Amino acid sequence: MVAIDGPAGAGKSTIARELARKLSLPYLDTGAMYRGITCAVLRKGIDVHDVDAVAQLALSTVLDISDDALVVDGVDATQDIRGEAVTRAVSAVAANSGVRSELRERQRQWVAERGGGVVEGRDIATVVFPDARLKVFLTASPLVRAQRRVAQIGGDVEQIARDIAERDHKDSTRSDSPLRESENALFVDTSDRSIGEVVNEIVGVFHG
Ligand code: DC
């Protein structure tokens, strides 16, 4: 079991996917789960700040996660969860303790059913799987992170840098399981390094 945490744009998803492939382990993107619940909230027209209604909805929302798709309550949401509306609203949903406890349980169950995996998110090493065999904290400079997002989804670098800074702030200052580096995590700054280099380093540490 490998737990990978870090802020948006650090290269987590690309690196975690490639790592999972190399280690022949299943891969879970927990950010997609928070995005999936957010999508359900927006579809129902519920106010993201209505803590009780959002927590209640999370309990009944069916997330069908596969490597390259997410189906929310039977309707494909693969594109929607990467869209602007979900991206803007997801931090509020991810700060909801009812949502977090529900998704934590589902994440543990997912790993238990498969006997391991490469799991990425914000609180994976610190809270969800503190006993993971390997914990990794990935980061990159704010400028590089913004440039990567622009390369993926387009937009203005300065605006995206501001959005990322705002989301980082929300994710790392919320009271329930904020983004933090786990004490014994392997710290990797991906700013000036290729995906391949980083993956090889992590594979080496995993086997070492
Ligand atoms: O990694 P991402 O950008 O898809 O994550 C979407 C949001 O979900 C982000 O605001 C942080 C939050 N998140 C979280 O709080 N805990 C996780 N384990 C994963 C994501």
The rounded mean pLDDT for the chain is 95
105, two tokens: 């349980």
What is the model's pLDDT at position 167? Answer: 85
37-77 confidence digits (pLDDT tens): 999 999 999 999 999 999 999 999 999 999 889 999 999 99
d(CA 204, CA 208): 6
What pLDDT does 137 receive?
Answer: 97
Length of the chain: 208
Residue ranges covered by each domain of the chain: 1-26+116-208, 30-115
Q: How far is the CA of 121 from the centre of ligand 1 (A)?
A: 6
188: β partners? 138
Q: Look at residue 28 and tell me whether its pLDDT is greater than 90.
A: yes
Number of Cα atoms under 13 Å in the Cβ half of residue 11: 24
Domains 1-26+116-208 and 30-115 share a fold: yes
Residue nearest to atom 14 of ligand 1 (CA): 122
Q: What is the reported pLDDT for 10?
A: 92
Topology (CATH level 3) of domain 30-115: Rossmann fold (3.40.50)
Q: Assess whether the C-beta atom of 123 lies below 6 angstroms from ligand 1.
A: yes
Kindly give the distance from the C-alpha atom of residue 200 to the centroid of ligand 1, in angstroms, as a whole number. 25
Q: For ligand 1, atom 5, which residue shows the shortest CA distance?
A: 31
Q: Extract the tokens encoding 106.
A: 């589902």
Residue 107 beta carbon below 6 angstroms from any ligand 1 atom = no
Q: How far apart are CA 28 and CA 124, in angstroms?
A: 11
* Cβ pair 97, 177 in contact under 8 A: no
Least confident of 41-45, 123-127, 131-135, 138-142: 138-142
Which positions ≥6 away from 47 have C-beta within 8 Å? 53
Q: Residue 142: is its pLDDT beyond 90?
A: no
Q: Is 167 in the pocket of ligand 1 (CB under 6 A)?
A: yes
Query: Between 74 and 151, whose confidence is greater?
Result: 74
Quickly name the fold that domain 1-26+116-208 has. Answer: Rossmann fold (3.40.50)
